[in-house]
Copies of this chain bind each other. A is one copy, B any other.
Amino acid sequence: MARKRFSEMHCGVAQALEALGDWWTLLIIRDAFFGVRRFTDFQASLGIARNILTDRLARLVDHGILDRIDVGDTGQRFEYRLTPKGEGLLPVLTALREWSDDWVFGPGREPVVATEKATGRPVPKMRVRGADGRELARHDLRIVPGPGASTQTLEMLARRPRAKQARQT
C-alpha cells in the first residue's frame, strides 16, 4: 500500500487534499482556470504522462471539480470544464501563488500579476481577516468545534500540544 487515503480523516484540510489527489491535480486545475479544456492541451502544457493525465482528469470528474462534456457535432470530442465546485478553488490557487510571490520569488520578481479586468489594477493580496477587516495572524485565531464536529475532531482539539516551555509546569 503506497498511498494512504485521507478520506477518513475528519479534517477540512485533509478532505481538500483527498479531493485534489496529488500535485498534478492542482496544476491541471490551474490550467483549467487559464482556459485549457482539451486532453491534448493539458498534456502539452504540463508535460504530464498521458496515462496519469487520464487518471487525474477522471478523478476530478468523479469529485465534481471538472465536467467532461461531449462537444462533438457529429462524432464525439471532449472538453473538461470547471464546475462551480472547481471554480471555488480560486482562493486556493491564489493563496498558493501569493505565497510563492512572497517567499519564493520575492517582491519585484513575481512572474505573473493578477489584475482586475475592469480597472486593470493589481488585485490586493488575499489575507485572513477578522470581522473588522484587520489582518489576523496564526495566534489571533482559535479553532473551535463546528456543527459537524465528530468525536475525533473534539479529541484532536482537546489535545494540548507539548512544547518545551511547558516542560516544568
Contact = CB atoms under 8 A, between A and B. Distances in A.
A168 B142 CA distance: 55
Interface of A: 4, 6, 10-17, 19, 22-23, 26-27, 30, 33-38, 41, 45, 47-48, 64, 71, 77, 79, 82, 85, 87-105, 108-121, 123-124, 126-131, 136-150, 153, 156-157, 161-164
How many copies, total?
A: 2
A83 to B, nearest CB: 9
Nearest to A48: B4
Contacts of A118: 130, 140
Contacts of A140: 116-118
Most chain B CB within 10 A, of A36, A104, A153, is at A104
Contact of A126 (B23, B119, B127, B144): B127
